[in-house]
């Protein structure tokens, strides 16, 4: 990652078991996992939680916040100690110009979610 790109990001660390965001929360940023593992879940009408998937190092989650103005569609919880680079929506346009590799990651992540029905 270039120094210019890195300046656009904020690093956050999440302890195991910490909820990063919940379904229905306002969405203002996306996360690029540097290390660790997260679990993506959705609460079903009967109150049970359904695991939609997991994401690890190199994965992007919450990227729909950058692509459309909507609330979070799922809940994401850190499984392991997880370090993420956080991308704020207002900096997204500048980041896209600075990091074409990230564009590919976002597109691949989005296509993968469509294929998995997430």
CATH code for the domain of 71: 2.60.120.10
What is the extent of the structural domain holding 41?
3-113
**18/79 Cα distance (integer angstroms):** 8
Is 10 a domain residue?
yes
Burial zone of 53 (CB within 10 Å; 0-12 exposed, 13-18 middle, 19+ buried): middle
The total of structural domains in the chain comes to 1
Is 66 a domain residue?
yes
- Residues 15-67: pLDDT tens digits? 999 999 999 999 999 999 999 999 999 999 998 999 999 999 999 999 888 87
Mean pLDDT, residues 84-98 taken together: 81
Burial zone of 69 (CB within 10 Å; 0-12 exposed, 13-18 middle, 19+ buried): exposed
pLDDT band per the 50, 70, 90 thresholds, residue 85 = very high
């Amino acid at each position: 990652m270039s120094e210019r790109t890195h300046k656009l990001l904020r690093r956050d660390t999440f302890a195991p078991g910490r909820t990063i965001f919940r379904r229905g929360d306002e969405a203002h940023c996306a996360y690029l996992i540097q290390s660790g593992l997260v679990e993506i879940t959705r609460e079903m009408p009967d109150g049970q939680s359904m695991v939609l998937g997991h994401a690890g190092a190199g994965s992007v989650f919450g990227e729909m916040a950058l692509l459309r103005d909507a609330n979070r569609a799922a809940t994401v919880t850190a499984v392991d100690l997880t370090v993420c680079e956080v991308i704020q929506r207002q900096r997204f346009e500048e980041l896209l110009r600075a990091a074409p590799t990230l564009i590919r990651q976002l597109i691949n992540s989005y296509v993968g979610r469509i294929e998995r029905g997430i």
